[in-house]
Amino acid sequence: MNITWALLMMALGGVGVQHPAHEADVAAALQSAMNPTITAQHTANPDASQNTAGGNAATPSPGASPGTEATPGTTAEAADSAIHADPQPDAPKVKGIYVTAYSAGGSRMTTLLDLLDKTELNSMVIDIKDDAGYITYKTDNPELQKLGHPQPFIGDISQLMARLKKHEVYPIARIVVFKDSVLAKKKPELSFVNANGSVWTNKGGDSFVNPYNQEVWKYNVDIAKEAVKLGFKEIQFDYVRFPEGFEKRAESLKYTKSDRPRVEIISDFVKYAKAELGPLGVRVSVDIFGYAASVPAAEGIGQDFVKISKNVDVISPMVYPSHYSTGWFDVKDPDKNPYATIKGSMVDTHKKLNPLGSYKPIIRPWIQDFTASWLGSGHYVKYGKQQVEDQIRALKEKNVDEFLLWNANNRYTAGVDYEK
């Protein structure tokens, strides 16, 4: 098992990275992963990127200025007692696909609905706030207009929801939380600022907003609340973390700070979101990097696998075989053996989460329906019917009967038996 590689992938994050990251990004993440601040607690990276799917403290009150602190409201503290009951006990066993806002608002939606009509698939995870931070439909909410930059990627959101209902699709709204270039540029005081006053960006040119700031919390939960009003049954939060390698720059950037550990800040955001959304009858889920079930914590980005899992209804580890390196689960090339890789990842996931008892969430992994050619000749195979079915079979054998398929282009393999 290559722990350094695992920590590298955790630092990079993303519901998946369907092509190599920029070399500078990889170098920075590897440097961070080689010297992480590690605790004995179990952490993960709940992320998704536009390329692949798609991780309370003393925090500022909504509207607080940088440099001020406030303790979380009682809603965050109350989440522990509210988590036991599923807000949707009659929900179906979810077998879903990822759908970009462009697909949801365009001609491809007809093809995707036809796929669900003709197969056992029954759910769509749709971008409502995307990786750049754009709200993907026009909203009349003045607060969301003020902080966000709504775009008509989905031209008529009400019409979309009506189509989903007609086709009996279980709708899940994906909201990318702390990776948000739009909000960072609009309100630098809610982001991380360099000494020269400019907003910090990673090597890919993306900015993050500050998880310490509760105004950021409220903004994302307000988007989620509007999604509930539109008819979404579940809110899936992504990029629930600090930027990759944050511990290397924590002292050099200007931002609202707290002495509380970053893992507490992140887990308290999840508690807050759950407490705010649970009473609305909507499920809360979080994307978690698959390695999180198998390696120690990465304190730098504030991810604790167990703490986050305890406070959601659904946890979605991203267990793409292509993201595991040589030797994981005793497999030479994990991408070429999806069955063994998925089975091993689920053994580790159950082992981590079983101690939660009644707090253990539904496990609904993201699995791979794309070809990882960037791994190089001899280390990957073209993914098709057999590879997708092998992953589903491995999940089923480990008593996991829900899953989400990831393909960045929303082109899913034909002829798959999703009941395998």
Q: What is the pLDDT of residues 315-342, one digit of tens each?
A: 999 999 999 999 999 999 999 999 999 9
C-alpha to C-alpha distances, 138 to 99, 182, 293, nearest whole angstrom: 18, 15, 38
Q: Are 177 and 239 contacting, i.e. CB atoms less than 8 angstroms apart?
A: yes
Distances (CA, A) of 228 to 221, 224, 281: 10, 6, 9
Give the tokens for residue 268: 């308290």
Who's near 232: CB < 8 A, 6+ residues apart? 128, 161, 171, 172, 173, 282
Evaluate if residue 356 carries a pLDDT over 60.
yes
Average pLDDT rounded to a whole number, residues 354-366: 96
On whether the CB atoms of residues 101 and 154 are closer than 8 A, the answer is yes
Which is more confidently placed, 342 or 290?
342
Q: Which two tokens stand for residue 160?
A: 């979309």
Q: What is the pLDDT averaged over residues 370-378?
A: 96
Asked if residue 27 has pLDDT above 60, the reply is no
pLDDT of residue 292: 81
Residue 309 has pLDDT above 50, yes or no: yes
Closest by alpha carbon to 112, among 395, 405, 388?
Answer: 405
pLDDT tier for residue 205 given thresholds of 50, 70 and 90: very high
3-state secondary structure 68-120: CCCCCCHHHHHHHHHCCCCCCCCCCCCEEEEECHHHHCCCHHHHHHHHHHHCC
Q: Nearest Cα to 402, choosing from 69, 179, 91, 60?
A: 91
The residue extents of the domains of the chain are 3-406
% the chain with pLDDT above 90: 74
Question: What value does the mean pLDDT take over residues 349-355?
Answer: 96
Instruction: Tell me what pLDDT residue 163 has.
Output: 98
Q: What is the mean pLDDT of residues 265-277?
A: 97
Q: Is residue 41 very low, low, confident or very high in pLDDT (cuts 50, 70, 90)? A: very low
Tokens matching residue 129: 């706030």
* HSE value, Cβ hemisphere, 13 Å, CA-based, for 261: 16
Pairing relation of β-strands 366-368 and 362-363?
Answer: unpaired
End-to-end distance of the chain based on CA atoms, in angstroms?
29
- What are the pLDDT digits (tens) for 191-203? 999 999 999 999 9
pLDDT higher than 90, residue 412: yes
pTM of the model: 0.85
Provide mean pLDDT across the span 97-110: 98
Q: What is the CATH number of domain 3-406?
A: 3.20.20.80
Instruction: Write the burial class of residue 386 (CB in 10 Å: 0-12 exposed, 13-18 middle, 19+ buried).
Output: middle
SS3 303: strand
Query: Per-residue pLDDT for 254 more than 50?
Result: yes
Confidence at residue 93, expressed as pLDDT on a 0 to 100 scale:
97
Beta-carbon contacts of 386 under 8 Å, excluding residues fewer than 6 positions away, are none
pLDDT at residue 256 greater than cutoff 70: yes
Q: What is the predicted pLDDT for the residue at 278?
A: 95
Report the C-alpha gap between 215 and 318 in whole angstroms.
28
State what percent of residues in the chain have pLDDT above 70.
80
**How sure is the predictor about 301, in pLDDT bands with cuts at 50, 70 and 90?**
confident
For residue 365, the model assigns a pLDDT of 98
DSSP 184-202: HHH-GGGB-B-TTSPBP--
